[in-house]
Amino acid sequence: MSDADVHAARLLQAVKYANVASITILVWDYLLTLEREIRLVWKGHWGSVKILYILSRFPPFFDVPLVMYYALAPNVPLSRCQPIYAVASWFTLFGIVVAEAILMKRTVALWGVDKRIYFGLIGLMVVSSICAPVILQPGPDLERFCKAVTIPCAVTVGLFLESLRYGPPPLPTVTGCYPTEGSVIVFVDFILLILYESVMLGLTLWVGFRKFRHSRNPLIVTLYRDGIFYFVYTFVISLGNIIVLVAGPSELLDLLNTFQRVMHSILSTRIILHVRSADQQFREDNLGGTAAGATQRLSAINFAPGKSAGSSSAGKTTNQSESSYAMTTMGIDATTSTGAGPGASEGAGAELGPVPGPSKSSGLETATK
């Protein structure tokens, strides 16, 4: 038993600790948000964001335990290591794409479903996925690198998984699978992820400065706050992955992978929960306890095209053009009686926003079906 073997075993143990911490965070966050999920998501209508929520929230409960088995189970047959890691890798890639799709919808909503922004972000996501090299064999072979960045991501993932070789661990006390070949230069993936999210952050800050810098609407505040926090957290994790991959020992290559997978799931689903919670709180504060005959000037948000929706009250009507995509702050006069009156607009169908509230009527329309 050499000192190098002992050092390698300690580094592998650190990776195991990181994986256990990641699944602990995943379960703990789910327990913390379960009540809100039931109230704000499961009781709401079905839409694309609800589907994205499910696809982002629940798959980690399948693939992260697979990683735990891969890293912690004693006496794992070598023939099982590659298939287990392959399934976990594909689920991780899928989860990050879904999380970025949620962030993209949030950005598009702020821009009022501007088609240039919509198709631009989709194109950027596709290019990032196609051009991202997932795995390269170690060495200074520039030609191999150039070929890798032009191979579709799915193909490079397959090549990476085929290149993996497993052997006995450095010490008998080390559990789980021990890869002996298949070093990665996956940092390019994280660079592309940072660039993609930087573009969305820039779009968010730009439209916020131009249109909403004076707004105090809780939905707008929530969208900006969560978007900025999401970028900061994922930037730090991606940067950490880059540093570990470029400068760290090979035993630490998987140190932050599971953590990044878990955090993408947590942060993207919390964006949806926070927006819907802000929508519900807005309704309760502004509509739930309004005295009979009182007229309130409410601030409404529209993210998606409406169908000439009108809100008439006390002889006044506010109409939304069918072609309107802009997310704007507009006044709605709503006369309510111990809740919402007959003139209040019906429902609040939204992808990021609709939640079952205490009242069916609401002056708040938050968007995107």
The token duo for 293 is 């005959």
Q: Evaluate whether 12 touches 251 at the Cβ level (below 8 Å).
A: yes
Using DSSP's 3-state secondary structure scheme, residue 335 falls into strand
What is the C-alpha separation between 333 and 331, in angstroms, rounded? 7
Among 24, 18, 19, 11, smallest CA distance to 67 is for: 19
Please tell me the number of Cα atoms within 13 Å of 183 on its side-chain side. Answer: 11
What is the C-alpha separation between 224 and 207, in angstroms, rounded? 10
Between vectors from CA 119 to CA 117 and to CA 124, what angle results, nearest 5°? 90
The token duo for 300 is 């409404």
User: How confident is the model at residue 302, as a pLDDT?
Assistant: 44
319: which strand partners? 310
What is the C-alpha separation between 298 and 295, in angstroms, rounded? 9
User: How confident is the model at residue 207, as a pLDDT?
Assistant: 78
204-207, long-range: CB within 8 Å, 24+ apart, which pairs? Answer: 204/107, 204/110, 204/228, 207/110, 207/111
User: How confident is the model at residue 57, as a pLDDT?
Assistant: 96
Q: Evaluate whether 85 touches 166 at the Cβ level (below 8 Å).
A: no
Longest dimension (CA), the chain: 87
What is the C-alpha separation between 36 and 50, in angstroms, rounded? 14
What is the C-alpha separation between 202 and 208, in angstroms, rounded? 10
Sequence length of the chain is: 369
Q: Is 0.85 surpassed by the pTM of this model?
A: no
Per-residue pLDDT of the chain (369 residues; tens, 9 = 90+): 678 878 888 888 999 999 999 999 999 999 999 999 999 999 888 888 899 999 999 999 999 999 999 999 998 998 898 899 889 988 988 898 899 888 888 777 777 755 666 566 666 566 555 544 443 333 334 334 433 433 445 555 666 677 778 888 888 888 898 888 775 656 667 777 788 788 888 887 887 777 777 777 777 778 788 888 888 898 899 889 888 877 888 788 789 989 999 999 999 999 999 988 888 887 777 765 443 333 333 344 444 444 444 444 444 444 443 333 333 333 323 333 333 333 333 333 344 544 444 333 333 333 333
Among 82, 42, 66, smallest CA distance to 272 is for: 42
Element (H, E) at 32: helix 3-37
User: How confident is the model at residue 185, as a pLDDT?
Assistant: 58
User: How confident is the model at residue 41, as a pLDDT?
Assistant: 93
The CATH number fitting domain 30-279, selected from 3.40.1130, 1.20.1070, 3.40.50, 2.50.20: 1.20.1070
What is the C-alpha separation between 65 and 243, in angstroms, rounded? 26
What is the C-alpha separation between 260 and 32, in angstroms, rounded? 19
Q: Evaluate whether 111 touches 207 at the Cβ level (below 8 Å).
A: yes
What is the C-alpha separation between 314 and 333, in angstroms, rounded? 8
